[in-house]
Amino acid sequence: MDEKYLKPERRRYLEERYDLAPDELEHFLEDLWAFTEETAEDFVRRRHGELQRGGLRNEAIYRRLAEEASSGRFRSPPLSLRQVRRIIYG
């Protein structure tokens, strides 16, 4: 992660505060950054694959994704089942 986002003194503070090695902090920050940068569309596509691999059928997946995407994580209006299908299949 680029130092412009987190200065060395902040890194040291977080390492000490949460008892993390520098590489652990780096991994955590990369995961956090990826989580906060994921769009609703990226989330729907990623979760669709995860839920399919978990054995769920598409109709159940669409309902679940519409609920999960509307949980407040994304700054967008709630997604309809049709919007979810369009994101996945174009």
What is the reported pLDDT for 5? 66
**pLDDT tens digits, one per residue of 35-45:** 888 999 999 99
As a whole number of angstroms, the distance between CA 40 and CA 90 comes to: 14
Terminal alpha carbon distance of the chain: 32
Structural domain boundaries in the chain: 8-37, 40-89
Q: How many CB atoms lie within 10 A of CB 63?
A: 13
Q: State how far Cα 20 lies from the chain centre.
A: 22
What type of residue sits at position 20? Answer: L
List per-residue pLDDT tens for the chain, 90 residues long.
Answer: 555 568 999 999 999 999 999 999 999 999 888 888 899 999 999 999 999 999 999 999 999 999 998 887 888 889 999 999 999 998
As a whole number of angstroms, the distance between CA 35 and CA 61 comes to: 21
CA distances in angstroms from 35 to 50, 74, 79, listed in the order given: 16, 11, 19
Q: What is the pTM of this model?
A: 0.69
